[in-house]
Structure 1
Amino acid sequence: MNRVERGRAAKRLATDEHAAVHRVAALLLDYPDEELVAQLPAIHEVVSGMSARFRDPLTRLVSHLARVDVREAAAHYVATFDHRKRCCLFLTYYAHGDTRNRGVALVTFKQAYRAAGVELAQDELPDHLCVVLEFAATTDRVEGIRLLLAHRAGLELLRIALLEARSPYADALVAVCGTLPPLEGDELEAVARLAADGPPEEEVGLDPYSIPQHQGA
């Protein structure tokens, strides 16, 4: 899918329900803390009004986070997203790894945000999935979905990796990927190739864009 095709698809997919899915997923995929736990009843209420294909997986994740101790949830989050390369929440990592090419890809995200009047905090990388989903849900639906489509292979690998790890967070990716068109042709090949080869190996390094680690619970 080229840029023009992604733009057309994004316009078709920029629905209210998809925006709600992206907003909820952005919250649920963030580092779990007491603030998130306090929001779970309100999130559950939003999820309960969605179509079954989104409601069911997101309800499972909400229920899980409401049930487990927040320290246990935080430990699982770190073990999943910080210690598993195939469960990285930074979308450009899948296409570029920790190479200098990733810096160019990050600029694309920053330009999209600035065009919509959004400036990120200094310590916030623009390709973090929660940031992209929040942008798609609350600022620019079409451009946000276009960014997701541009990194579809990485999203799908993340979904597959979380399912294989039997992580409850897989349900958030199932819902997010459900807002996008079915994979076909070159996209299927890209996912298979990425699953087989993984992200590019480090070349010279990209210290300014290294993936931050969470500091435990």
Structure 2
Amino acid sequence: MKTFKVLSALAAYPSAAMVEAIPAMRQLLEAEGLLAAPARRLIEPLLADLTGGEIMEMQERYVFLFDRTRSLSLHLFEHVHGESRDRGQAMVDLKQLYEAAGFALNTSELPDYIPAFLEYLSLRPADEAASFLGETVHILITLAERLEKRSSPYAGLFRAMVALSKAKPKAEDMAAIVADDGIQPDDLEALDAVWQEEEVTFGPGAATAACGKDALGAKLRAANRPAEGVQPPAPAGVRTVVTHNRLPIA
């Protein structure tokens, strides 16, 4: 599903190689047809912005938006768990979901990083990928709305993801979203204060929980975690490294 790879690349940190690949991205989106024409048009402002700007300026803007504005974090569980201890367990569960399917993350990435999540979905069957994406629709809508308030062209990218998911958010899911803290990306003192969190760890010391669509949905809805689940079977065969740095035309 190259459409998911295109979305993954566009949601990642801009690079000169990514900008050069934009014409190929347009062709892939149209040829695969997963995104209807109206949804593809939602992405055009971002594509035009990326191709018409200076790469360093685009990178600086990206950092201010997504790395220094917590309410725009590209980590899914930031928006439903915040600083709760459940966030660490949710990370473990999602990582296990990837591994059960035979995929592994680049060690520098967290499992809930949206570009990495989208690339994982690009390797799943179309119906399954859309269903999993639908589990995050309340987060995608929240990000789109917050980006629209900032007049950011990235808003259209998240609106396109919502369209691709073909899902409608539940009221309780929207209510579970962590509120916008209102902190501006240039308020360094406030940013330092709110980013003081416990380290997220993975490995033998972490508890296990059931993996799969229902488990993922529960984590994304910030539901109570089961007492204990079943360890997924070890993946067989060749493992694919999932990394948001790969271009969609590969």
Is the CA contact 2:14–2:62 (under 8 Å) kept in the aligned structure 1? yes
Whether 2:94 is the aligned partner of 1:112: answer: no
- Residue 96 of structure 1: aligned partner: 81
Deviation at 1:196, TM superposition (A): 4.9
CA 31–176 in structure 1, closer or farther in 2 if over 3 Å, else same: same
- Residue 198 of structure 2: aligned partner: 206
Deviation at 1:25, TM superposition (A): 1.0
- Residue 194 of structure 1: aligned partner: 177
Which amino acid in structure 2 is aligned with residue 115 of structure 1? A
- Residue 51 of structure 2: aligned partner: 66
CA distance in 2, matches of 1:196, 1:34: 34
Whether 2:148 is the aligned partner of 1:148: answer: no
Deviation at 1:55, TM superposition (A): 1.7
CA distance in 1, matches of 2:78, 2:134: 15
Is the CA contact 1:34–1:70 (under 8 Å) kept in the aligned structure 2? yes
Which amino acid in structure 1 is aligned with residue 23 of structure 2? P
CA distance in 1, matches of 2:109, 2:61: 22
SS of the residue corresponding to residue 157 of structure 1 reads: helix
| Higher fraction of helix | 1
CA 148–206 in structure 1, closer or farther in 2 if over 3 Å, else same: farther
Q: Deviations over 1:5-56 (max 9, x none)?
A: xxxxxxxxxxxxxx44322111111100111112112112223444212220
Is the CA contact 2:137–2:167 (under 8 Å) kept in the aligned structure 1? no
SS of the residue corresponding to residue 108 of structure 2 reads: coil
Which amino acid in structure 1 is aligned with residue 39 of structure 2? F
Task: State the TM-score, normalizing by the size of structure 2.
Answer: 0.66
Deviation at 1:156, TM superposition (A): 1.7
Q: Deviations over 1:44-86 (max 9, x none)?
A: 2223444212220122221211111111110110111012222
Runs of 4+ in 1 over 6 A off after TM superposition: none
Q: 1:31 aligns with which of 13, 38, 49?
A: 13
CA distance in 1, matches of 2:99, 2:127: 15
Report the structure number with the largest CA radius of gyration: 2
CA distance in 2, matches of 1:23, 1:60: 19
What is the identity percentage for the equivalent residue pairs of Structure 1 and Structure 2? 28
Q: How does 1:10-49 map onto structure 2 within 5 Å?
A: 19-49=1-31
Is the CA contact 1:32–1:70 (under 8 Å) kept in the aligned structure 2? yes
Task: State the TM-score, normalizing by the size of structure 1.
Answer: 0.75
CA distance in 1, matches of 2:11, 2:83: 22
CA distance in 2, matches of 1:42, 1:174: 21
- Residue 148 of structure 2: aligned partner: 163
SS of the residue corresponding to residue 208 of structure 1 reads: coil
